[in-house]
A and B are shown apart, each in its own frame.
Chain A
């Protein structure tokens, strides 16, 4: 077994026993099951679930991730004093948290869908996309959380910054797009808006799923820009690529900070 797998194994057994993770999984079970019961069909439930996923996953990943690393600070120092490289230690610590969070979400959403059954093939694709978006957001925001906790030694500052980033990506972002849109209404805004979208994985996730479902009415300003400017298929490709970059970039940044940090 590689050192990464060893660290991960123990981190996993710690995180998997955490009540938070159980609560997180149950939350998705209850919400998904409820939506499947009270909406007309699977597709509607998926749409409604998207909005929950886009808000809850970034919040839980960034807050839980930041607190987790602060709480593990002393033990991380013990691990750093062992004969193991920092690169490997970081990978073990990060994956040991990001994987159970991803798994908790996927199981929480997957089980109710499996029990209720899916109506047709297109719903399977949509569900797979939804799960993919949720996992990318988990990887991304857990990475951001680690980067924050490594950069800021003060817990209160770290947690504050985590919540600020979450607010910016989920709540303030929409207002920002509207402000930009109305201020520069006289100009061609497609390119700047698409650029703005690339900077926000939450918006990318929303646009990707809605492009796939082809419901332009719900796509918002940035999504509509993308669709009219590059077309549906190209839009999906572009959004997917950008999302995958968002899954990888924050953990790589955190790994860089971890390697250079003075503990």
Chain B
């Protein structure tokens, strides 16, 4: 871990986590709750064509407001890293046609930022399945490196993320959360400028406060 490589947004994320986890305001009123999850991402569709490897680096942060005992609305922030290093021959469908061979590094850093709504089945203090939908978009940092050449494309891509999961209470104001999301962008280009619809599944497991 290189402290010297910390970037500004990473500090902001950590600060947000600290505020979320040690803030008393929501726990006193019991109207808000937060969830912090480890996130594994599985590329799908156009994203899978670019990187067909599971991303083991990821984090999710939910802040949900209780509208009533079954419904929350809130915000969802995440970060998923997809990466693949390969030494392969890529056929080029260009004119003239060709092929290129070399070590390739492909990386996508996806930062979903969305408003969310969730509906919970069952009763509080019991295991509660839920469904939800988040809508907003993704900051997509996409990079394709081959040899000494690098193509990158950082952009905002609009999208949604339908979700289903469980909240499992453990203590009075603490529990576990497990969910799956399908993160789907409607707009965007990949690292080399080709129009794509990025998509990936994310499996998220973590902790929830004030379930």
To the question of whether A and B form a pair in one complex, the answer is no
A contact set with B: CB distance below 8 Å:
none
B contact set with A: CB distance below 8 Å:
none
